[in-house]
Every structure is written in C-alpha cells, then in structure tokens.
Chains A and B, each alone.
Chain A
Amino acid sequence: MPILQVIDVTKVYEGKVTHRALNQLSFEVEKGEFLAVMGPSGSGKTTLLNIISTIDKPTSGEIIFNGTKPHLFNKTELAYFRRRELGFIFQDFNLLPMLTVEENIVLPLTLDNQPVSLMKKRVKELTEKLGLSSVLNKRPDELSGGQAQRVAIARALIHEPAIILADEPTGNLDSHNSREVLELLSKINKERNATIIMVTHDPIAASFCDRVLFIKDGEYFNEIYRDERRQTFFQRILNVLSLLGGRVGDLSSIRLP
C-alpha cells in the first residue's frame, strides 16, 4: 500500500494567459521511500509540492494520502493535517528569526499543544543526533547555513510526520554542507523509515535518493531507480537530464534565489 498516490493531477492557472502547470501527472510513493523530483525550471515541481502539501488544490485528479483524500477536508482540518502528517524543509530554511533554535524546533509541537515534557524529550533526542546541542539557545541569524538547515530538518522531524517534503534543501548551501545535509536525510530515511519527497535541481542531491522522478512541462517524463553505486546512478541521472533537452543553464546546481 503506497503512502501517497498522485492520480491524474492537473493544475491549470487561470489568468490572462491560461497556464497548465501540471498535466495528468500520476505516480505513487511507498512508505520509507526517498524520492527526488527533478525537472527543468517551470516544469511544475513547485506546483506539485504545493499540491501535495495541500496549500494548493488540483484542478482535476486527486491525491490519496494514506487512504484519505486531503483535498476534501475543510480549512481547519487541512491545517491539522499539515501540522501532524507533513514536515517541511525549505531552500532558504525559513527559520523564524525571533525564536531561538530550540523554540524553532519545538514550534510544530507547541502549535499542536503537546506537553512540555514530550517536547523536551524529543528535542534532546533530535539535537544529539543532528549535532545541534551546542546551539540550542542561539538565534537563527547566528547560525551557519548548514546548521540552519539542520535546525530546519529537526523542525520538520520533531512531530514525526508521515511525509517530509523538501524544496531544494541544498539550494543555498555549499558543497560540503550540502553533502552533510543529504547524508543526514538519507540516514533519517533509513533509520526512521521516513518518507521523503525532495524537489531538486541538483543531480548530486538526486543521486542520494532511492528513485528519481523526472517531469517536463508538467508531465511525467521518466523515472529511474537507484543502483549499487552512487556514481553510476549520478551518471544515469545526467543522461536523463540531457535527454530532457533542457539547456545547460537550467540544470546548473547553483541557482540564484
């Protein structure tokens, strides 16, 4: 039983120029899978992520999440759904500047009105694992990029969500920090059997995943599974990317904000 089913999802943006961002896209995600979604700019990756995270609604088609259909919920139910079942990691971290690191991490739990003892326990576990114990009382602006993203990951994990959605998590990091974050994600994926969907431009980042899904102009293009060696997987990803026909610039691993 897949944890997430995307069935024939189409998203049309009405406006002066009608724009079809997603066109009958279907795929499934199994529990414990680490999936990368790749595609050139404007291929609908962000729209897809928004639809999965229920802040946007598909024009047609449906999303089945663990057997439920979130787009039938009302707004409040959706909010509760998001806060319990989903965890988010953003490209620019989006830590709240007025909260300390610790407060940022426990935020999802406080919103859900959990007891303080539980929060403290989880924070202790997570920060030890992610090596954040020393910075707990600092403010986000005192952190390095890698630390900030690890804090964001801790925030996405603390409420033990069913799916973690990551939007270009390495987009703002240098290669060293990128690698660290990616290794961390795949470790979490294995140890906790967490399901992760990651949208990325970066073939290196994609090569850490179990499966890479390629979309182009909102449609399914291809998908490839991981093999024994990361290097060969990386090579195969590059091959598909060149098949995609995007120009080199679109695929650059460094993207300006």
Chain B
Amino acid sequence: MASFFSVFVFFIYSMLMFHPEIENGYLGKVPIGGMVFAEMILVLFSWFFIFYSMKAFLESRAKEFAILLHLGMEKRQLSKLIFLETIIIGSLSIACGILFGYAFTKFFFMIVREILMLEELPLYFQWEPFVLTIAVYFSAFVIISIVSVNFSPERKIIDLLRWYQYPNVNGRFSKKKAVLSIILLVVAYILSLLTNRVNFYPFVVLLPLLITIGTYLFFTDTVQWVVELIKSRKNFYWKKSRMLSIAEQTFILKNNGRMYFVVTMVSAAAFLCIGLLAALSSYTSQYDKLNPLGLIYKGHVDNPYEKEHISSIVNELEEKGLSYHLTRFEVKKQTSSYTNYEVEVFRESDINSLLFSYGYPMVQLDSGEGMFIPYSEESIKKLSKRTVHTVLKENNVPITIDEVYPKLIFPSSIVSPNSIIISDEDFVQLKKPYSGYPDVEPGYHLFAFDIPQWLEAQDVGVPIYQQVQKEYEKNRYQLPFYFENAGLNYSYVLSMYSLFTLVGLLVAAVFLLAAGSFIYFKIHTNLDAEKRKFDVLKRMGIADSEIKRLVTNQLFPQFFLPWGVAMVHSLFAFLALQNLLKDIANISIVKEIVFAFSFLILIQVIYFYLIRWRFIAHVKN
C-alpha cells in the first residue's frame, strides 16, 4: 500500500516533469531543475521507505518463516521465496500506481494549471514517465529484496517461534548525555531567537548541527532518564494502568530511540516545508499592498531616453486599452541639517495627484511643514512617533516634520528611507541644487503609472526592463534610468511560489506519510505480542474502558513525542525565519504558520485516532 502510494505520486510527478508544454518554456529552466531535485529526494526517500516497510513486513512474518525453516527449508530457498514475493508485490504496486496515477494525472494537471495560471495543460501520452517510474521502482524492489534477505541478522529458529521476543531491555543511558542534550537544545533555541541578517550564515550551519545532536541524545538518553525518574516515585507509578503504560514506554523508547529520532527529523523537515510554503503564500498575497504601483520609471534629471521611453510605455498601454494614471514627480535631493545626510524631497501637489488616483486621503501641508514617506509597513509606526526639526541646508528652508503618511505610497525599492513631502511653496524655494552636485545626481524624475489592472500590464516595457536587468547583472549600475513592472515581477514571484508549492507540497506529503508509516509499521510488527499481552490482562480482569485507556496511553507518546519535538524544532526555526524576514522583506508569517500548524495537528490527531481504533479492534478480538 505504501509503495503503491509512492509509485503513484512519483508517476504523476514525472508526468508533469516530462510534459511537453512545461518543457518548452513558460517556466524556464529553474523550475525543471527544482522538480528534478524534488524528484530525486522523492526517489531517495521512497527507497528508504520501501526498505523499511519491507523490513517491518518481514519481521511481522518472522514466525511463518521460522516454521518454514523448521520444516527444513534452506536459507537459499527462503531467500528465493522472499525475493519472488517482493517482486510480485512490487510489480503489482508499480502497475496499480501507474494505472491510478495516469487516471489522476488530468486532475493533478488541472490543479497545477490553476496554480500556475497556465492556459491549458492537456493530458498526453509519452513513454518517458512510464519508463522512468518502472525503472526506478523495479530496481528499488529488486535491490531492496536482495538486501533485506541477505543482510538480515541471523536469528535462531527457536527465538522466532517464541511468542514474545524478549528484547534487550537493559538499555543503558547516561545522565551526562541526557543533560547534555537538554543543554544543546536550549542553546540552539536561544541562538535561533537571536538570529539576524548578520550572523545568518554561521547559524545556518551551526543550528541544524546542534539540533540534530541534541535530538538524538534526547531520544536515546533524556527520555529514558525522565521515565526512570517517574518510575522511582512509586506512589505515582504504581497506580492503575499507569504502571503498565509507563513500563511499556521505557521499553518502546529503549528499543526505538533511533527510529523516533529519524521520525522527528523527517517531520521537522516536513513542517518546515509546509511553513515555508505558507510564508511564501503570505508574501504573494501581500505583494499587492507592498507594490501599489503598476509601473514605475525612474530617471536622472538629464536622462536622454526619458521622452522616448515614456512615450513608448504610454503607447503600449494605450494599445492594450488599459486605463492608467500617470504622475510625474520631480524629486530633489537636499542635505538635512538634522542628520547631515541627504533627504529626497517630494512636492505636495505631485503626491496628491498620485494619491488621488489611488483613492487615498490627500496631504495638506503648510509652509514649513513636512511629512515622512514610509518605506515599509514597519516604518509607519516608527516614524509616526518622531518629530524632526531640520533645515534643508542648500536653500536654508526650515522644515518641521512630525507626521508620516499612514499608507505605503511607493514600493521600498524606489524611495530612500529619508523621503519627505513638503508644501509647494517650500518646494519652489529649492533652487540651489544638492551640495554633492555634479558628482552626485541632484535629484531624479519619477513616472508613476497607477494601473488598476496592473496584472495585465506585465508585457509593457519589456525591452526597457530587459536593459535594466542586464545592467543589474554588472557590478555597477550605470544606466541613467530604472524601470519596475509590478505585474512582471509578480508573475516571477508567482512562478517561484508555485514551483515551491509543487515541490514543497510533494516533499511534505511524502515526509508526513513516511513519518506516520514508520510508527505504524513499528506498531504493526509488534501486534501479535500486544494481542497476547492484552489476552493475559483480560483474563486478569481489565475492563474495556481500561483497555482503551491503556492503548491510548501506550500510543500517545509514540505518536506525539516525535511530532511534538519536531513541532517545537520547526517553531523555533520559524521564529528565526521571522526575524530574518523582518530584516529583509517586512512580512509577517505568524498567521500563516499558526494556520499551517493547527492544520498539521489536526491531521495528526485524526491519524492517531485512526490507528488507535485499528489497534483496539485488533487486541480486542
């Protein structure tokens, strides 16, 4: 079943990857690279996954094999039997996976089309995805079956025949390691809270290392230490079914510490994927607010191309029949006496013309008054508390700035953090140019196109945009103009986002599924022994409600301990990420993360109850 599912996902995905439409173009090279990467992760993981499920499957049938060996079957014959069985199961799941995969491909394509906003994505038939899927999985099954037979530890038949394999329960743990793990984790968490742009790179290396070691020790030592502490309090420990479940935990933890470690790390990775997706989606949804303008053209005062470019943009817009509102700004640089740095000065009537087309409230300034232009959402709050008395040095114009415009007017890439609006009367007085002139530009012209249907303007000014892009790739930006097309940028962001969605969702789904299945397999392997145990308990007199409680107590830590730890890990990872994003992009991901996490918790709870239900049904009859 598990292998069927992974074949299924893999096939659909490779269908998409080999899709002719995607191959020649729209998305370009990067997405294909990303998809190949995702596919590789998928393959690696599904190999590991099949291997593990195979092992669990063989383990649960150990008794059957023991009987066969008892009847005089050779080891070689047994290997052959297992090999054949695996191949049959493998071929079946490959066939089913591809069959169902093909059936659902159209559906998947429809979703992808919606996400990517493509025209259409027809179903097609080509041999590559089929061959790829079959080749990858068939080789996986063959290799895994050989490996799992030949490298499985030799055990005595007598041990296999016994109902309960007495496992090694004398697991040792050291208090030192237990404490060390707590210290490591706490240090890692604190560091992650301190992450910022400066120390980002060393932290990216250091933190996962700390977390990994810490988590490993946590499961091998700390948990056992804690359980041991609980056990030593007999009044608490020897109470009702508590004793059974706690003893059971020691036992499970001692034997499966490593598996829990893997599950934890895998789920943490999955959570991170999902959280990142949520963050990205928040970025795209906030894009509109961060970039209120459709097109922006910014040029030096003596920009020779100005007329040519502006008229070509206007022509293009008119050809497309898009309505727009053009505002021309003349921005002057001056030196502020308050900071001794340059400020960019905007004229009240220019701003008002743009605000009018936005439908935002107008600005009313008297002579000598000034207003800050916010460069980010954050800055609105910060600047609103500030009052600055300054003199624009070159022309000796005194200004008092004690307000900030309450909304973002320009995207942060256009305006400098020191931008102010002053009244028309004061602006006229600014006759002497910036003191740095002619070495530094004394100001610039800004053409702001407010286009209500800005998404449709993404093809406007592409040649200019390409020039700008080319110049960006050089070390020094020397063009006398700069151009930004929000629609075009948005389409890039969107395609990046959709790529991450495709890759991330897939990886996260596989990870989550795998993490859940590891636990399920573990439980499944021990099911017979568990049944036996509950039989004994039932004879001793244990009520149904108590069985339920016992099962809950037994399963709960198995499920939620690794997941809980993973949750905490990724929570701190997100706190670090939020710190970073605050520095870079001014977006808040709290809401999305909370939403994603509660969704994940919901899935886990459902999964838990599902397994509990199966488990109880199994031990009861």
Q: Specify which of A83, A97, A103 is in contact with B542 (CB 8 Å cutoff).
A: A83
Q: Specify which of A75, A90, A97, A119 is in contact with B238 (CB 8 Å cutoff).
A: A119
- The reply to whether the CB of B381 lies closer than 8 angstroms to some CB of chain A is no
Q: Which residues of A contact B235 (CB under 8 A)?
A: 116
A94 adjacent to B545 (CB under 8 Å) = no
Nearest chain A CB to B275's CB is how many angstroms away?
37
Known: A98-B169, A98-B247. Contact between A80 and B541, CB under 8 A?
A: yes
- The reply to whether the CB of A153 lies closer than 8 angstroms to some CB of chain B is no
B247 adjacent to A99 (CB under 8 Å) = yes
Q: Specify which of B243, B248, B545 is in contact with A110 (CB 8 Å cutoff).
A: B243
Chain B residue at smallest Cβ distance from A155: B540
- The reply to whether the CB of B543 lies closer than 8 angstroms to some CB of chain A is yes
A111 adjacent to B544 (CB under 8 Å) = no
Chain A residue at smallest Cβ distance from B161: A257
- The reply to whether the CB of A240 lies closer than 8 angstroms to some CB of chain B is no
- The reply to whether the CB of A205 lies closer than 8 angstroms to some CB of chain B is no
Interface class of chain A by DSSP:
helix
Q: Specify which of B164, B234, B536 is in contact with A116 (CB 8 Å cutoff).
A: B234
| Bound complex: CA A120 to CA B590 (Å) | 53
Nearest chain A CB to B555's CB is how many angstroms away?
15
Size class of the contact patch on chain B: 20 to 34
Chain A residue at smallest Cβ distance from B535: A94
B247 adjacent to A88 (CB under 8 Å) = no
B541 adjacent to A107 (CB under 8 Å) = no
- The reply to whether the CB of B378 lies closer than 8 angstroms to some CB of chain A is no
| Bound complex: CA A3 to CA B250 (Å) | 42
Q: Which residues of B contact A111 (CB under 8 A)?
A: 240-241, 540-542, 546
Q: Specify which of A55, A110, A141 is in contact with B538 (CB 8 Å cutoff).
A: A55
Q: Which residues of B contact A80 (CB under 8 A)?
A: 541, 543
Q: Which residues of B contact A82 (CB under 8 A)?
A: 539-541
| Bound complex: CA A110 to CA B541 (Å) | 12
Known: A99-B244, A106-B238. Contact between A141 and B541, CB under 8 A?
A: no
Cβ contacts B227-264/A at 8 Å (1 or 0 each): 00000001100111111100110110000000000000
B544 adjacent to A83 (CB under 8 Å) = no
B240 adjacent to A113 (CB under 8 Å) = yes
- The reply to whether the CB of B533 lies closer than 8 angstroms to some CB of chain A is yes
Chain A residue at smallest Cβ distance from B167: A97
Interface residues of A in 206-247 (CB under 8 A from B): none
B536 adjacent to A83 (CB under 8 Å) = no
B240 adjacent to A79 (CB under 8 Å) = no
Nearest chain A CB to B228's CB is how many angstroms away?
13
- The reply to whether the CB of A23 lies closer than 8 angstroms to some CB of chain B is no
Q: Which residues of B contact A92 (CB under 8 A)?
A: 163
Chain B residue at smallest Cβ distance from A94: B536
Q: Which residues of A contact B248 (CB under 8 A)?
A: 98
Known: A98-B251, A99-B247, A113-B240. Contact between A141 and B166, CB under 8 A?
A: yes
Q: Specify which of A103, A107, A113 is in contact with B540 (CB 8 Å cutoff).
A: A107
Most interface-central of A55, A76, A96, A113 (chain B CB within 10 A): A96
B540 adjacent to A108 (CB under 8 Å) = yes
Q: Which residues of B contact A98 (CB under 8 A)?
A: 169, 247-248, 250-251
Q: Taking A79-B543, A107-B243, A110-B243 as given, write out 18 further A-B residue pairs in contact, using a Cβ cutoff of 8 Å, ordered by the A residue number.
A: A53-B539, A55-B539, A79-B542, A82-B539, A84-B541, A86-B541, A96-B244, A98-B248, A98-B251, A99-B247, A103-B243, A110-B242, A110-B244, A111-B240, A113-B239, A116-B234, A116-B238, A141-B166
Interface of B toward A, CB cutoff 8 Å: 163-164, 166-167, 169-170, 234-235, 238-244, 247-248, 250-251, 532-533, 536, 538-546
- Which 6 pairs of residues, A with B, have the shortest CB-CB distance? A83-B541, A82-B541, A79-B543, A141-B166, A98-B251, A76-B543
13 contacts between A and B (CB under 8 A): A55-B539, A79-B542, A80-B541, A80-B543, A81-B541, A82-B539, A83-B540, A83-B542, A97-B164, A108-B540, A110-B239, A116-B238, A139-B166
